[in-house]
Structure 1
Amino acid sequence: MGHETQAGVHAPIEGEQESLVSALEGLVSNTAQHSSSDKLGSSAHNGPYTPAPTSKNEHKSWWSKLASVEGLAQSRLDDLFAEHHLGNWIAIRGTNEKIFESMPIAVRLGMHLLFFGSKATSLLRYNSVEDVLESMSARQGRIYDDASDPEAVLQHVKNFIETYSINLSELAEPDPTKYRTMNDFFYRKLKSDARPIADADNSRIVSSAADCRITVFDNVESATKVWIKGKKFSLAHLVGDANLADRCFPPGSALAIFRLAPADYHRYHHPVGPATVGPIRHEKGEYYTVNPQAVNQNFDVFTANRRDVLLLDWKPSGAQSYTVAFVAIGALLVGSIGWSAATQGSAVTRGEEAGWFAYGGSTIVAVFPPEAKVKFDQDLIHNSQNALETMVRVGDRIGISEA
């Protein structure tokens, strides 16, 4: 049997459900007891703000408790984690390989809050799920911008490098001691040649906006059947303007969804060009996790979260221009969205840096109008139609305009 994650395929057998619930309750109890300090050096042992070997070892310990259930093989455990919102299967492009991506502790806590809200509300003494997620995100922002203790910053940077196996050789600044804050390292820059742009001279190519896990859909109807299950999702809600959606993104518009995880390079790049930058809309919202396990539920993550909507006028053939929406979506533990090449009226090229996310994982959604005739690459379409994300990097080709 493959590693399907559809509901019911890997429903727990007798004894497994209790083990999952007990482990998750223990995780929430441990994670919730964090320090009230906003200093980086005082963030709690295995707390939501600690991407460290300690945290990784705690995860292994928790994992091993589940593995001790009689007859529970590793592959079975991965399937159960996927079924119960604790991780996702990801396809590695160009291979037949899949990897299981376990969620960071803070995201697992967020998922618990989303799907077991009443219990978690009482446990954490907050009035609502939204309150606790906003509080966590705001506090995280202060902690990861804290430069008052250089030794603590350096230790956290080193722990982050070890935990997520960051390749220092591709960084513009490979020396960990040169980063003033944890966020400075989190949205670190890469060397100019670290992410080659596929077929850079071909203006029809669409490339990945980020180092990420991608899903693509030829139209919104397909996306909502397979991937985005929130009842209120629509392009009008996503871009925050019904008139704009009606005018520029009618039925048949294509979507590319780029999900970044904490380990990823967190600067994002223009997926098309040459293009002229239009206005940016700032949409207020919540701080829900954008993990697939939330997106795949009846939960309006993309249209409920805080997000910025940038419009691009793209000329794939050098003549006719098409409006592309580039939507940067904040999420759990992502307190800020920054723009570096988004001045209205300026010209940008495909692969040029567009902006960055502060600490956490987040998502970009690019929307292409039907007349641009964007055709996504077949391997990405196949995986997406099977509810499977594919690992890609900045500049990788993901499709082409046939207009």
Structure 2
Amino acid sequence: MHIFGHKSDELDRPLEHIQPHSNNLPGLTNEQAAQGLVSLVDHSEKHTDVSQGIHASSHTIFSIPWIHKLIPGIEKLAAEYHIGNFVVIRGSKEQIFEAMPIYARIGMHLLFYGNEQIKVLHAHSVESLLKEQSIKEGKLYDSPNSAASIPSFVATYSLDLSELLEPDVTKYKTFNEFFSRKLKPDARPVEHADDPLAICSAADCRLTVYQTVDLAKQFWIKGREFTIPNLLGVDPSSEKASVFDGSSLAIFRLAPADYHRFHCPIDGTVGDTVHIPGQYYTVNPQAVNEPGFDVFTANTRSVLYLTHAATGLPVAFVAVGALLVGSIVWTNGGEKGKTVKKGDELGYFAYGGSTIVAVFPKGVVEFDADLVANSVVPVETLVKVGNSLGKTPAKV
């Protein structure tokens, strides 16, 4: 996440806006970018300081000579731009800048300045390379040796250990065990927990909400192939597609530093889960906001169908994998027929930052006004699990 100050501060250089065919790393070939990503993943196996490798960011890059040599032009880019995006703190107008980890920026380069199908390193296509390295990183962080990287990860992202169920980092056997860490039971109180019509945030995240898909596509999701049937992997003429016609969307983006367990936004019942294989593209806003990339409908994802207790209607809870995310794991969300309350855990992501898209049938949710206002700017809002998302209108 790398918090880098406030928007009210006069930043000394502009924010980088990455656009296809407008290469801000002109000295970097696609093969060099591919080798850079592979080297960053390999580096994480033998070097425990994540801030000096895979989680290096634009404002720390100047102290890491090996990355300068590996990725020509990255130092010049960091000197000219801030690489990342702003998010707003809920309850205020204050915006903070979050620097993009270097691995995400390289993944962005491969997507934006190459082509998913072009051959890069060792005859891999871009999409096969991103998938291979994502799976590889997940395996590396499942190994006992990876636990040595936990202290530097905590320091890099200034994590608050006091809210953890197990605050002693030496007790975690692997990096991924820490990454999917649990919180104390009272660490994320659920707002309006006793109101059956209330709906809450499913994750610690950067949130955008849209009452209709058309609004989501106008302000945020620019992929040309984005539709609810494509997201859910269902036939557009199917009954399931018709149930979600005119639906509302909440998009929860998790950064690497976040608590990575996700929770139920409603009172309801666990239904079926459907896994949809796909790509491992970065879910950074600049990729989601780019018409040329259908991130949410191309990436690997797992869809959980919940039955909303207050209306009897289905809610689709879509966990989307991303670059360097090894897996999506369902806990309570994998127990079909189980009754769940707002704030109950549904599952977790293994290593990486990722996204959840919650799809509510038309009329099921009226989002909180402050979240709606931020989303049409558009800017993401920092929220926590259990924070209010909105409520179901009483007439429904």
TM range (shorter): 0.7 to 0.9
Question: Is residue 235 of structure 2 the alignment partner of residue 230 of structure 1?
Answer: no
- The answer (yes or no) to whether the contact 2:260–2:349 under 8 Å persists in 1 is yes
Partner of 1:111: 108
Question: Is residue 248 of structure 2 the alignment partner of residue 247 of structure 1?
Answer: no
CA distance in structure 2 between the partners assigned to 1:157 and 1:163 by the alignment: 10
Secondary structure of the equivalent of 1:370? Answer: coil
CA distance in structure 2 between the partners assigned to 1:120 and 1:235 by the alignment: 25
Partner of 1:267: 261
Partner of 1:327: 318
Partner of 2:71: none
- Unmatched segments (≥5 aa) in structure 2: 1-6, 9-13, 69-73
Q: Decide which moves more: 263-272 or 122-131.
A: 122-131
Following superposition, the deviation at residue 105 of structure 1 comes to 1.2
- The answer (yes or no) to whether the contact 1:31–1:105 under 8 Å persists in 2 is no
Question: Is residue 31 of structure 2 the alignment partner of residue 34 of structure 1?
Answer: no
CA distance in structure 2 between the partners assigned to 1:400 and 1:248 by the alignment: 19
Following superposition, the deviation at residue 46 of structure 1 comes to 6.9
CA deviation profile, 1:104-162 (whole Å, cap 9, x unmatched): 11111110111011699666444311011011101101100011x3xxx3430000000
Partner of 1:366: 358
Following superposition, the deviation at residue 225 of structure 1 comes to 1.1
- The answer (yes or no) to whether the contact 2:134–2:280 under 8 Å persists in 1 is yes
Secondary structure of the equivalent of 2:265? Answer: coil
Partner of 1:257: 251
CA deviation profile, 1:320-372 (whole Å, cap 9, x unmatched): 41110000000100110001102111111110000000000000000111142
CA distance in structure 2 between the partners assigned to 1:293 and 1:131 by the alignment: 21
Following superposition, the deviation at residue 249 of structure 1 comes to 0.3
Counterpart of 1:41, as a letter, is: K
RMSD of aligned Cα (Å) = 3.1
- The answer (yes or no) to whether the contact 1:30–1:47 under 8 Å persists in 2 is no
Secondary structure of the equivalent of 1:190? Answer: coil
Partner of 2:281: 288
User: Aligned match of 1:58 in 58, 61, 64?
Assistant: 61
In 2 relative to 1, CA 136–378 (structure 1 residues): closer, same or farther, beyond 3 Å?
A: same
Q: Work out the number of aligned pairs and report it.
A: 366
Counterpart of 1:260, as a letter, is: L
Following superposition, the deviation at residue 247 of structure 1 comes to 3.2
Pairwise mapping of residues 41-190 of structure 1 onto structure 2 (< 5 A)? 41=46, 50-51=54-55, 57-58=60-61, 65=76, 77-78=81-82, 81=83, 87-117=84-114, 124-147=121-144, 149=145, 153-190=146-183
Secondary structure of the equivalent of 1:34? Answer: helix
Q: TM-score normalised to the size of structure 2?
A: 0.84
CA deviation profile, 1:174-230 (whole Å, cap 9, x unmatched): 111111110000010000111110011011111110000000000001111111111
CA distance in structure 2 between the partners assigned to 1:380 and 1:131 by the alignment: 36
Counterpart of 2:137, as a letter, is: Q
- The answer (yes or no) to whether the contact 1:113–1:129 under 8 Å persists in 2 is yes
- The answer (yes or no) to whether the contact 1:52–1:163 under 8 Å persists in 2 is no
Question: Is residue 342 of structure 2 the alignment partner of residue 350 of structure 1?
Answer: yes
Secondary structure of the equivalent of 2:60? Answer: helix
CA distance in structure 2 between the partners assigned to 1:189 and 1:99 by the alignment: 26
Following superposition, the deviation at residue 35 of structure 1 comes to 7.7
Q: TM-score normalised to the size of structure 1?
A: 0.82
Pairwise mapping of residues 380-391 of structure 1 onto structure 2 (< 5 A)? 380-391=371-382
Secondary structure of the equivalent of 2:39? Answer: coil
Pairwise mapping of residues 282-321 of structure 1 onto structure 2 (< 5 A)? 282-298=275-291, 299-316=293-310, 320-321=311-312
CA distance in structure 2 between the partners assigned to 1:233 and 1:125 by the alignment: 32
CA distance in structure 2 between the partners assigned to 1:177 and 1:287 by the alignment: 31
CA distance in structure 1 between the partners assigned to 2:209 and 2:227 by the alignment: 16
- Unmatched segments (≥5 aa) in structure 1: 4-8, 70-76, 82-86
In 2 relative to 1, CA 197–118 (structure 1 residues): closer, same or farther, beyond 3 Å?
A: closer
In 2 relative to 1, CA 245–233 (structure 1 residues): closer, same or farther, beyond 3 Å?
A: farther
Identity among equivalent pairs (%)? 46
CA distance in structure 2 between the partners assigned to 1:43 and 1:23 by the alignment: 29
CA distance in structure 1 between the partners assigned to 2:16 and 2:175 by the alignment: 40
More helix by share: 1
Secondary structure of the equivalent of 1:258? Answer: strand
CA distance in structure 2 between the partners assigned to 1:229 and 1:184 by the alignment: 35
